[in-house]
Amino acid sequence: MDWLGIKEFLKDSLKLIIFLFVLLFIMVYVFSVTQVVGNSMSPTLHEDEVLFLNKAQYRFFDIQRGDIVSLEYADTKYLIKRIIGLPGESVEIKQNQVYINGELLEETYLKDGLVYPDFSLENIGYQTIPENMYFVLGDNREDSMDSREIGLVSKDQIKGKIFMRFWPINKIKFF
């Protein structure tokens, strides 16, 4: 191999290294892929669906009610839940309805006929949600490990916002 061939090889290798570095940076700090485990987000999300997670979203924008997020739980487990209660709010569940500060929360994404226990923030020791904490629920309230069981979720536990389902291919959807 002559000097020109070595130079081209080094140039191509450098391009590949830069590409891999950028890809790794994006996967670590901007986007990642996650998979739905269980049926706690049914009917919105189902077991084994594959989702894109925007990890940079909350560095620039506030967490909003209704956002579907991936959150870290028990150091090794990630849960996918919906943001329901925001800092400073009170949350109460009465007769299968969620109330925020005493007002009914419209939840068009739930399936009809769900039956789940009444709940108040007082059940977990709070009057209102403290700063940088959130109340999360699964869409399948009858079978979801969420804030009613695990307590409030800190902003640090939220790893990002689910923004797209891309598998199965026939169910691609942006959230």
Cα distance between residue 77 and residue 128, in whole Å: 27
| Residue of 40, 42, 70, 147 with catalytic role | 40
Exposed / middle / buried, residue 159 (Cβ in 10 Å: 0-12, 13-18, 19+): middle
Residue 139 burial class via C-beta count within 10 angstroms: exposed 0-12, middle 13-18, buried 19 and up: buried
- Whether 51 and 33 have beta carbons less than 8 Å apart is answered as yes
Is-catalytic flag, 11? no
Q: Name 111's Cβ contacts closer than 8 Å, sequence gap at least 6.
A: 42, 43, 139, 140
Cα 34 from chain centre: 9
Instruction: Give me 62's structure tokens.
Output: 């506030």
Identified catalytic residue from 42, 55, 70, 81 = 81
Q: Is 40 among the catalytic positions?
A: yes
Active site residues: 40, 81
